[in-house]
Amino acid sequence: MKRAALFDVDGTLADTNHLHVVCWWEALRQAGHDVAMHDIHRAIGLPGEDLIAHVLGEDRDTGEDAALSAAHSTLYGTYFDRLPPLDSAADLLRELNRRGWRVVLVTSAENAELDALRRAVDADDAITATASSDDVSEGKPAPEPVHHALGLADATARDSVFVGDTVWDMQAGSRAHVACVGLLCGGIPQRDLEEAGARAVYRHPADLLAHIDTSPFTDRHRPPDHTA
């Protein structure tokens, strides 16, 4: 039985959500848009175009979307050599890999950003594959990124778990019929994660690792029951 441990990266394995908030805020400010950082924070985890639509509205001038995304990428790129991993993120991935899980990263980051994140997390020896925004036509909260990741792991939804820190992660995993685990280290309240589909919520990767034997990962580590 092949099992997939699917992980979002920003805010889940790397402490980068607030860096994204600041970079989007500055990109929007430079373009003349006054957007509260709180509103940007709640949109983190969406692909760039969807994030812009979320904070500026569907009736915005879409002709400036590309310039806004490029400005964010340029600003965020200045942090690539010092992105901070969350405590025990690498240990968590390695422990799941040791237990036979196929670890796949599922992220809205584009390839250059994903490379920087992987360097920060520093657990490539435990990662089976990555699914980035470049690989799908529709990002989270659509289920397509999760379906793509399951295909990369050659695993079924019923035998997999998706760990993320945003409501978009929980919605994407739930729509793909994968058990979802939420982490609070991205700054989203527990209630919001649970309402979006989280089966269990932990503070951060270290907390999930400490409770791995009572987590949804353990439920899917047991062999199937053939007695029924």
Which domains are assigned to the chain? 3-15+84-219 (3.40.50.1000), 17-78 (1.10.150)
Say how far apart CA 212 and CA 228 lie, in whole Å: 27
pLDDT at 133: 77
pLDDT at 220: 55
Mean pLDDT of the chain: 94
Q: At 190, give phi and psi (nearest 5°).
A: -60, -45
Give the tens place of pLDDT for each residue, 119-164.
999 999 999 999 987 888 899 999 999 999 999 999 999 999 999 9
The angle subtended at Cα 211 by Cα 207 and Cα 212, nearest 5°, is 110
- Collapsed DSSP state (helix, strand, coil) of residue 143: coil
Find all residues with CB under 8 Å of 151, minimum gap 6, and list them.
none
Q: At 44, give phi and psi (nearest 5°).
A: -60, 140
pLDDT at 110: 85
CA distances from 221 to 84, 171, 179, 201, 212 (A): 30, 23, 13, 19, 11
Nearest to 184, CA basis, from 126, 171, 169: 169
Would the pTM of this model clear 0.85, i.e. be above it?
Answer: yes
pLDDT at 118: 97
pLDDT at 1: 73
Give the tens place of pLDDT for each residue, 159-214.
999 999 999 999 999 999 999 999 999 999 999 999 999 999 999 999 999 999 99
Say how far apart CA 211 and CA 120 lie, in whole Å: 24
Amino acid at site 48: G
Residue 221 has pLDDT above 70, yes or no: no
pLDDT at 44: 97
pLDDT at 132: 83
In the structure encoding, which two tokens stand for residue 129, read together?
A: 């594959």
Say how far apart CA 157 and CA 146 lie, in whole Å: 9
Judge contact between 87 and 120, C-beta under 8 A.
no
pLDDT at 226: 33
Residue 227 has pLDDT above 50, yes or no: no
Give the pLDDT band (50/70/90) at residue 222. very low
Amino acid at site 106: V
Residue 8 has pLDDT above 70, yes or no: yes
